Amino acid sequence: MGYSFPEEVLEHVLSFIDSDSDRNSVSLVCKSWHDIERWCRRRLFVGNCYAVSPAIAIRRFPELRSVSLKGKPHFADFNLVPHEWGGYAYPWVAAFAEAYPWLEELRLKRMVVSDEALELIGKKFKNFRVLVMFSCEGFSTDGLAAIAANCRHLKELDLSESEVDDMSGNWLSQFPDSYTSLESLNITSLSSEIRFSVLERLVGRCPNLKTLKLNRSVPLDLLPNLLQKTTQLIELGSGLHTTEVHPELYSRLAGTFSGFKGLKRLSGLGDAVPSYLPILYPICSGLTSLNLSDASIQCPDLIKLVSQCQNLQRLWVLDYIEDAGLNAVAESCKDLRELRVFPSDPFGQEPNVSLTEQGLVSVSAGCPKFHSVLYFCRQMSNVALASIARNRPNLTRFRLCIIEPFCPDYITLEPLDVGFGAIVEHCKDLKRLSVSGLLTDRVFEFIGSHGKKLEMLSLAFAGDSDLGLHHVLSGCKSLRKLEIRDCPFGDKALLANAAKLQTMRSLWMSACQVSYGACKLLGQRMPMLNVEVIAEKESLDLRPDEHPVEKLYIYRTVSGTRSDMPSFIWTMNKNS
């Protein structure tokens, strides 16, 4: 280059760039920018722990302070990924212990985390501050005790949706009496009882604690004592479960909650007694996030609660809210950006609540900033989907889950192709889409033609033929993750769009019509892809090439075939 910035200036400029994609673009400008960006990169996100090896990551970025890792595919959340599939954190932790003794933050999602890995974190990273394990497994409270005993500067410990082997509730006592740095604690996934006196002392000596999310073991009658020590909280997760109303306890709780002037996010309330809900009313106007996805609060009480939350931006709730409750949200919560409605009885044959497409239409019409939705329901129509698309062209995430597969438009009995077509046509910035109901290849033609910014697509029980998959892979230029189950997609579309797979992070297919022979051919053609065939029911040794595979996971990698594959996974490559 004829002219370049001094290194110090460029390093200062890069310090203001947070986006991973922007940092990656900077590193491609020229060799000198690549080197400078390499040495000043402090945070790394790895969307698939098998896409790169720890050694390659360390060699590429030698000065990291924060790492985020994802393990199992997203469909693991729906029990479609075998338990012993992989996603082990220990090799990464061991490599980081040697290369990054100064590491401060580690965020893990859908990974197997052993107690040995947690012990290594506690011993090797002397300035460790943040540990997030979201939907992880493999560890126990013994590992957490090692973190508590050794990580003297820990600010955040988050165990959201993780499976923890509870050896005892005494692990919190391992935090030293001199420890005061805790800012965020989430232990909602723990099942054992927590020693209340230990918890009370811990939160009482941490003046900067801003997030506290508790499991159900904290007794309601002791909750006021705890909360009086944490009135600086911004986020609280707790229950209001009891069998009867006690006037004295009600008064104490009401007084306690009235002191929470800065509370912005509230979650939990599992098994809440309706008569206790009014104690929350004084804080409702300040809430921006309300997560009631574990709370069996019924529609009339939900209406009274959400009507007080005029500044709400995010609402997660069970379908007990019904259409009437969502109408109240549309009228009261004009700042709402995200809505998730989960099923209370997903396996029931008949509806147990009065929730239809009309609730979602009301929210789309009444909330001008609304842009993200996950909605479980039992019926939908093309007219409703078209209305939502016209009301909210600013949608960026639209995930609709009609509980019964192959449900048509309940009014016309036609496929829902036109309705989802309206969503992708009108919502130009749509990045994530999940479709359901009766759908033909026509909907995938709409998606391929209009979903130019679509990054993640989830399909189930949809389509007529290979043509549907071809429309998606050939048309969605920004697609990074595609997950498919129970669709009639086979070899032709997959092989014809093999080059597209090298631009994506991953493709998951289960119960489709892809053959073993096509998987072998794809692996031979595309050495930069790991083509993993999952065969839990029978060995592939004697399987004919035309036989369809049970499950298929394809992902881009720079580190080759992984070394920790269980016996039921076969990697297709040039030697297959």
DSSP sequence for 301-328: HHHHHHTT-TT--EEEEEGGGHHHHHHH
> Could you tell me how many helices (H) and strands (E) the chain has, helices first?
21, 23
Quickly state the pLDDT bin for 418 (edges 50, 70, 90). Answer: very high
> Looking at residues 41-50, what average pLDDT do you find?
93
SS3 377: strand
Tell me the chain's radius of gyration from C-alpha atoms: 25
Looking at residue 241, its pLDDT comes to: 63
- CA distance linking residue 358 with residue 379, whole number of Å: 10
The region of weakest confidence among 62-71, 179-188, 237-246, 260-269 is 237-246
Q: What is the pTM of this model?
A: 0.93
Name the burial class of residue 466, with classes exposed (0-12), middle (13-18) and buried (19+) by CB atoms within 10 angstroms of its CB.
buried
Q: Which two tokens stand for residue 239?
A: 């229950």
Question: 546 vs 133, which has greater pLDDT?
Answer: 133
- CA distance linking residue 14 with residue 172, whole number of Å: 39
AA identity, residue 327: N
CA-nearest of 466, 410, 457 to 438 is: 410
Q: Bridge-partner residues for 130, per DSSP?
A: 105, 156
Looking at residue 194, its pLDDT comes to: 85
Looking at residue 325, its pLDDT comes to: 98
CA-nearest of 456, 500, 499, 502 to 480 is: 456
Q: Which two tokens stand for residue 534?
A: 């999952």
Quickly state the pLDDT bin for 302 (edges 50, 70, 90). Answer: very high
For 532-542, the pLDDT digits (tens) are 999 887 776 66
Quickly state the pLDDT bin for 3 (edges 50, 70, 90). Answer: very low
For 309-336, the pLDDT digits (tens) are 999 999 999 999 999 999 999 999 999 9
Q: Which helix (H) or strand (E) holds 60?
A: helix 54-60
Question: 274 vs 357, which has greater pLDDT?
Answer: 357
Strands (E) across 395-489 are located at 397-402, 432-434, 456-460, 481-485
Residue 243 has pLDDT above 50, yes or no: yes
For 497-509, the pLDDT digits (tens) are 999 999 999 999 9
Check: CB of residue 284 under 8 Å from CB of residue 254: no
- CA distance linking residue 239 with residue 305, whole number of Å: 15
SS3 493: helix
Looking at residue 2, its pLDDT comes to: 40
- CA distance linking residue 13 with residue 72, whole number of Å: 35
Q: Which two tokens stand for residue 272?
A: 């809440």
> Looking at residues 190-199, what average pLDDT do you find?
88
- CA distance linking residue 309 with residue 284, whole number of Å: 5
- CA distance linking residue 335 with residue 288, whole number of Å: 9
- CA distance linking residue 292 with residue 280, whole number of Å: 13
For 143-178, the pLDDT digits (tens) are 999 999 999 999 999 999 999 998 877 899 999 999
Please enumerate in sequence order all residues whose Cβ is within 8 A of that of 32, keeping only pairs 6 or more positions apart, or say none: 1, 4, 7
Question: 259 vs 443, which has greater pLDDT?
Answer: 443
Q: Which two tokens stand for residue 530?
A: 């790991």
Looking at residue 244, its pLDDT comes to: 66
Q: Estimate the crossing angle of helix 7-14 against helix 31-40, to 10 degrees.
A: 60
SS3 464: coil
- CA distance linking residue 378 with residue 356, whole number of Å: 7
- CA distance linking residue 327 with residue 362, whole number of Å: 6
Q: Bridge-partner residues for 26, per DSSP?
A: none
Residue 124 has pLDDT above 60, yes or no: yes
Q: What is the mean pLDDT of the chain?
A: 92
Looking at residue 26, its pLDDT comes to: 76
Looking at residue 544, its pLDDT comes to: 83
Residue 1 has pLDDT above 50, yes or no: no
Largest Cα separation within the chain, whole Å, is 78
The region of weakest confidence among 50-54, 259-263, 451-455, 469-473 is 259-263
